[in-house]
Structures are given as structure tokens and as C-alpha cells.
């Protein structure tokens, strides 16, 4: 029986590794094709699939950077500003809101939670027209401010933070800090936030990627070419007329667009894995 159990365990391990290798291949294959096509010219891409890199990487990069109609460098700067500010505002203020509902008991606590959840299920498109009119009245159209200021109210991030606090933040720790004379903001910034690092890292990645890939709102708000974000520039490049359309440039611009996302994930992913035990404060 022991030998059979050992053999069965080995077979399951092998099957599990093969499945993981297959899933990893599916995930990485499309990135590989993207990188390969970024090194090929438009004519080579039109010829069909190739697993071998081409020799047009530098020409494609030069064509993208030198295109006067596609200001890539300003697009990267704008996307970085919007995505970084969105991630910072969403994670900090959502954690602060979650702490307020978690650490305090008041009459409107349950209605407030329900109200935030109702906002969560409301599509962005429903309020887009009213939001545009509001930004127009405030003189913020064609600026980057409307692209990240709404991140202060992020119901999905709030719910994740609230759930994490319920499982990892003992109220005894907060009460002990209050007895020691700490004010609430000091407790939040110096005690709660370090415990929340894993949750903040996860939501910072999601918020950054969401803002980085956002096309709908910037397309409505931004009209100045130098203030456009990368998704708008990619769409503009793809919608070029047939004579000017260059698939090599499109793949190169898409590859440039995903590099910051990969860097952000690499920088924050260690908090996700190593920080799981960070919130495990024993009561």
C-alpha cells in the first residue's frame, strides 16, 4: 500500500507540473509572439506566423518614436502620471474608508456599507455624460485631473481592504494604540498600513493596470494630442489609413505599453507573497 501511495503521489505531482507548464506556456506564448512581431516589418508580419525574431526592431522603434502624430514619450509620461496617482489614491483612501467602517460602530455604518456596494455595481458608462458636464463646469476638460481624481472613491478596492481587515487586523491592536495615546491618523498610518501591505500591493497592481489600460474615460476627456494616454495613441495608430498602416509599429507600441506594467508587478509582487504572514498578528 505504501508503494502504491508513493507511486500515486508521484503521478499526481508529474501531472500537476505538466499542467502548470502547459498553462505557463499559454500565458507566455502571446507575449512571445508580441515581442517577435515587434522585431518584424509590416511585410513580414503580413506573410504569417513566425517564431524567429526579425531584424526590424530598431527601425520599428525609430518609426514609433519619430511619428509626429503619435507622441509616444508624452503618452508614456501621461499614462505613468495617471496610473501612479490612481493607484496611490485608490489604495490609500480605500484603506482609510475601510478602517473607518471597520474600527468604528455608528448608526449609519450598515447603510454606508450598502451605499458603497451599490456604487460598485454601477457601470461607468451610466455616469459618463454627467461626469463630463461636471468636469466642463469645473474647467477640467482636456486635463489629466479627471482621469485619476475619481480614484479617491474606489468601491472595489474598499471592499477588498475591508475584507482583509476583517481577517488580519485585530481590534485589540488598535485599542492598545489608543490607550497609549495615539491619534487615529497615527494609528492608521503607522500600524494599520504596514499590516495592510499585502492588500495594498495587490490593489495597487490592479488599480495601476486598470488606469493604464483605460481607454473610455481618456477618450472622452482628452482632446489635446500631447495629453493623450497610451491606449488612445495605440487606437489612433491602429485606425490609420491603409497606406500608412504599419503592423510593426503597432506591435512595437503595444510592447512599449506593457513594459511598465511588468515592472510594477515585479516591484510589488514580493509584497504579495512575502507579506501574507505580515498581517498574521496573533490576538
- pLDDT reading at 281 higher than 50: no
Contacts of 272 (CB under 8 A, 6+ apart): 198, 201, 202
Position 40 scores a pLDDT of 92
- Alpha-carbon distances of 167 from 23, 33, 94, 196, 201, rounded to whole Å: 31, 41, 17, 11, 17
Position 283 scores a pLDDT of 42
Averaged pLDDT score across all residues of the chain: 87
> What's the CA gap between 43 and 192, in Å, rounded?
56
Please give the model's pTM, rounded to 2 decimal places. Answer: 0.85
Nearest to 51 by CA among 64, 27, 34: 34
Q: CA-based diameter of the chain, in Å?
A: 77
Structural contact between residues 211 and 87, judged by C-beta atoms closer than 8 angstroms: yes
Highest average pLDDT, of 129-138, 233-242, 264-273, comes from: 129-138
- pLDDT reading at 90 higher than 90: yes
Q: Where are the domains of the chain?
A: 2-56, 62-274
* The C-alpha cell that represents 252 in the structure block: 512595437
Within 74-200, strands assigned E span none
* The C-alpha cell that represents 246 in the structure block: 504599419
Share of the chain above pLDDT 70, in %: 93
CATH architecture label of 62-274: Orthogonal Bundle (1.10)
What digits encode the pLDDT tens for the residues 162-205? 999 988 888 888 899 889 888 888 999 999 998 888 889 889 98
User: What Rg, from alpha-carbon coordinates, does the chain have?
Assistant: 24
The dihedral region occupied by 181, where left means phi > 0, alpha psi between -120 and 50, and beta the remainder, is left
What digits encode the pLDDT tens for the residues 225-252? 899 999 999 888 877 665 667 888 889 9
In the block, residue with C-alpha cell 499542467: 19
Structural contact between residues 183 and 201, judged by C-beta atoms closer than 8 angstroms: no
Mean pLDDT over residues 34-57, rounded?
Answer: 89
Structural contact between residues 200 and 154, judged by C-beta atoms closer than 8 angstroms: no
Ranking 24-38, 187-201, 250-264, 268-282 by mean pLDDT, the lowest is: 268-282
Position 240 scores a pLDDT of 63
What digits encode the pLDDT tens for the residues 251-261? 999 999 998 88
Mean pLDDT over residues 69-79, rounded?
Answer: 91
- pLDDT reading at 279 higher than 60: no
Contacts of 213 (CB under 8 A, 6+ apart): 231
Position 228 scores a pLDDT of 93
Amino acid at each position: 500500500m505504501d508503494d502504491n501511495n508513493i507511486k500515486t503521489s508521484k503521478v499526481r505531482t508529474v501531472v500537476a507540473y505538466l499542467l502548470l507548464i502547459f498553462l505557463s506556456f499559454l500565458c507566455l506564448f502571446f507575449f512571445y509572439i508580441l515581442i517577435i512581431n515587434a522585431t518584424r516589418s509590416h511585410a513580414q508580419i503580413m506573410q504569417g506566423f513566425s517564431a524567429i525574431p526579425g531584424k526590424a526592431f530598431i527601425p520599428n522603434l525609430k518609426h514609433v518614436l519619430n511619428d509626429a502624430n503619435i507622441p509616444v514619450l508624452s503618452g508614456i509620461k501621461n499614462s505613468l502620471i495617471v496610473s501612479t496617482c490612481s493607484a496611490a489614491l485608490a489604495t490609500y483612501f480605500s484603506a482609510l474608508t475601510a478602517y473607518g467602517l471597520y474600527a468604528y460602530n455608528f448608526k449609519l455604518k450598515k447603510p454606508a456599507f450598502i451605499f458603497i456596494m451599490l456604487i460598485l455595481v454601477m457601470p461607468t458608462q451610466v455616469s459618463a455624460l454627467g461626469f463630463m458636464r461636471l468636469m466642463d463646469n469645473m474647467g477640467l476638460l482636456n486635463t489629466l485631473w479627471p482621469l485619476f481624481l475619481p480614484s479617491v472613491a474606489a468601491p472595489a478596492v474598499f471592499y477588498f481592504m475591508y475584507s482583509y481587515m476583517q481577517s488580519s487586523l485585530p481590534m485589540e491592536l488598535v485599542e492598545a494604540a489608543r490607550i497609549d495615546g495615539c491619534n487615529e491618523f497615527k494609528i492608521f498610518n503607522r500600524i494599520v498600513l504596514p499590516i495592510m501591505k499585502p492588500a495594498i500591493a495587490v490593489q495597487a497592481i490592479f488599480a495601476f493596470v486598470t488606469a493604464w489600460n483605460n481607454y473610455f474615460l481618456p477618450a472622452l476627456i482628452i482632446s489635446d494630442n500631447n495629453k493623450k494616454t497610451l491606449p488612445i495613441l495605440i487606437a489612433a495608430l491602429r485606425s490609420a489609413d491603409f497606406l500608412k498602416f504599419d503592423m510593426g509599429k503597432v506591435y512595437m507600441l503595444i510592447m512599449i505599453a506593457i513594459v511598465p506594467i511588468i515592472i510594477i508587478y515585479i516591484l510589488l509582487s514580493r509584497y504579495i507573497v512575502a507579506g501574507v504572514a505580515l498581517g498574521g498578528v496573533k490576538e
